Amino acid sequence: MRSFGGRLRALIDSRGPLCVGIDPSTALLDAWGLGDTPGGLEKFARLAVEAVAGSVAVVKPQSAFFERFGSRGVAVLESVVADARAMGALVIMDAKRGDIGSTTAAYAQAYLHPDSPLAADAVTISPYLGFGSLQPMVDLAREHGAGLFVLARTSNPEAAEVQLATGPDGRTVAGTVMDHVAGLNHGAEPLGSVGVVLGATLTDLDYPVARLNGPILAPGVGAQGATCADTARLFAAARRNVLPSVSRAVLAEGPDPIRLQDAVDRLNDEAREHLSA
C-alpha cells in the first residue's frame, strides 16, 4: 500500500501542484445559471469535476456546500469523490473535523476508511481540542495509507487569538501544532502523509517549514489576493511541497468547460513556475 505522501509527491511532480476547490456556493450556482437546488448542485459538480480532475493533482470539495442540501447533497459529494479519483486526481475532503474519543473515531471512519462512500484520499482536521484528540484519525490514516491536513495558521483574522497564543514554553499554539506534525512525518520518504493548512495570504511565518516534511495546503490564492509567487516566498524552504489552493479563480469561469480548463492550465503553469524549482 503506497502512502498518501508518496502518491501526492508523484502527482505533484507529474501534474503540477495546483489544488482546485469545488465550492458550490449559492452565488456560484446562480452565476452558472443552475439555481440553488440539489439539481443545480449536481450539474455544477459534474461540470466542475469533468473540467479539472483530469489535469490537476488534487481536488478539494468543501463538504459544507454539499451538506446544506441534506442527503441529496451528500449523495452528490459521494459522486464528486468517486469521479475525481477515477480521473486520476487525489481528493482532499475539506471537512475540518475535530472532536474527542469515539466521535473522532467515527469521523475517521467516515472520511478515511475505504469502505465508506465518503472516503477520500485525505481530510482536513482541527487540532484545537488538543492534538492528542486526533489520534484515532492518525491511526486510521496510517492503516489505510490516507492523508491528513491539520489546521495550523489560517488566514482569517479571528484565528490569531488562538493560533498565535503562547504557552509556558514560549511556543505559539500554531507552532506546537506544527511540531506535532513534524514528529509524525519524521523520516518519511518521499513525503510525509500529514500536512498542514497555512494561509497563502499570511504575511509572515515564524516556523522552519522544511522541518514539517509534509505537504502544505495553502488556501487563499486567486480571489483572496495571494499569488503563487507569494506562496513561493512565504514557504521558500519547502516550496516543492506546497499545494496552492484556488476555487473562485477557476470556478468563476464556468460553466463553459473550455474557460474552466484554460483557467486551470494557466494557474497550474504559474504554480509550476514558482513552486517546482
**Type of residue at 49:** V
Does residue 150 contact residue 194 with C-beta atoms inside 8 Å? yes
Is 43 a residue of the active site? no
CA-to-CA dists, residue 237 to 53, 209, 216, angstroms:
28, 7, 12
Whether a cis peptide bond, with omega within 30° of 0, leads into 190 is yes
Residue of 87, 64, 89, 90 lying closest to 77 (CA atoms): 64
Report how far residue 114's alpha carbon sits from residue 253's, in angstroms, rounded to the nearest whole number: 33
Radius of gyration of the chain (CA): 18
Cα 221 from Cα 29, distance rounded (Å): 21
Helix (H, G, I), strand (E, B) or coil at 61: strand
Among the listed residues 96, 211, 240, 248, the single catalytic one is 96
Q: Which residues are catalytic?
A: 96
